Amino acid sequence: MNFSNQLDFALELDASDPLKSYRDLFHIPIQNGAEVAYFTGNSLGLQPKSARAYVERVMKDWETMAVEGHFYSKEPWWEYHEKLAAPLASLVGAKTPEVSVMNTLTVNLHFLMVSFYRPSPKRFKILCEEKAFPSDQYMLQSQVKFHGYDPDTAIVTVKKRPGENAWREEDLLEAIALHGDSLALVLMGGVNYYNGQVFPMKSITAKAKEQGAFVGWDLAHAVGNVPLQLHDWGVDFASWCSYKYLNSGPGNAAAIYINEQYLNRTDFPRFEGWWGTEKGLRFKMEPNFTPMDNADAWQVSNAAILAMAPFLASLDIFKTVPQEDLWSKQSRLVSYMSFVIESVAATAPFDILILTPEYRGSQLSVYFHEHGRAIFDYLMSQGVVTDWREPNVMRFAPVPLYNSFKDIYTLGERLKEGISKAILA
Mind listing the pLDDT tens digit for each residue in 269-315? 999 999 999 999 988 899 999 999 999 999 999 999 999 999 999 99
In this predicted structure, the answer to whether residue 188 has a pLDDT above a threshold of 90 is yes
Confidence at residue 423, expressed as pLDDT on a 0 to 100 scale = 87
Mind listing the pLDDT tens digit for each residue in 355-411? 999 999 999 999 999 999 999 999 999 999 999 999 999 999 999 999 999 999 999
Confidence at residue 389, expressed as pLDDT on a 0 to 100 scale = 94
Q: According to the 3-state scheme, what is the secondary structure of the chain? A: CCCCCCHHHHHHHHHCCCCHHHHHHECCCEECCEECEECECCCCCCCECCHHHHHHHHHHHHHHHHHHHHHHCCCCHHHCCHHHHHHHHHHHCCCHHHEEEECCHHHHHHHHHHHHCCCCCCCCEEEEECCCCHHHHHHHHHHHHHCCCCHHHHEEEECCCCCCCCCCHHHHHHHHHHCHHHEEEEEEECECCCCCEECCHHHHHHHHHHCCCEEEEECCCCCCCCCCCHHHHCCCEEEECCCCCCCCCCCCCEEEEECHHHCCCCCCCCCCCHHHECHHHHHHCCCCCCECCCHHHHCCCCCCHHHHHHHHHHHHHHCCCCHHHHHHHHHHHHHHHHHHHHHHHHHCCCCEEECCCCCECCCEEEEECCCHHHHHHHHHHCCEECEEECCCEEEEECCCCCCCHHHHHHHHHHHHHHHHHHHHC
Mean pLDDT of 180-200: 97
Mind listing the pLDDT tens digit for each residue in 13-39? 999 999 999 999 999 999 999 999 999
Q: CB-based burial of residue 412 (10 Å sphere; 0-12 exposed, 13-18 middle, 19+ buried)?
A: buried
Question: Which sign does the torsion angle of CA 222, 360, 190, 369 carry?
Answer: negative
Confidence at residue 266, expressed as pLDDT on a 0 to 100 scale = 87
Q: According to the 3-state scheme, what is the secondary structure of 25-87? A: HECCCEECCEECEECECCCCCCCECCHHHHHHHHHHHHHHHHHHHHHHCCCCHHHCCHHHHHH
In this predicted structure, the answer to whether residue 425 has a pLDDT above a threshold of 80 is no
* Domains recognised in the chain with CATH numbers: 7-35+322-424 (3.90.1150.10), 52-318 (3.40.640.10)
In this predicted structure, the answer to whether residue 424 has a pLDDT above a threshold of 90 is no
Mean pLDDT of 86-109: 98
Q: Are strands 237-240 and 254-258 parallel, antiparallel or unpaired?
A: antiparallel
In this predicted structure, the answer to whether residue 46 has a pLDDT above a threshold of 80 is yes
CA distances from 24 to 12, 108, 148, 404 (A): 18, 33, 53, 11
Banded pLDDT at 1 (limits 50, 70, 90): confident
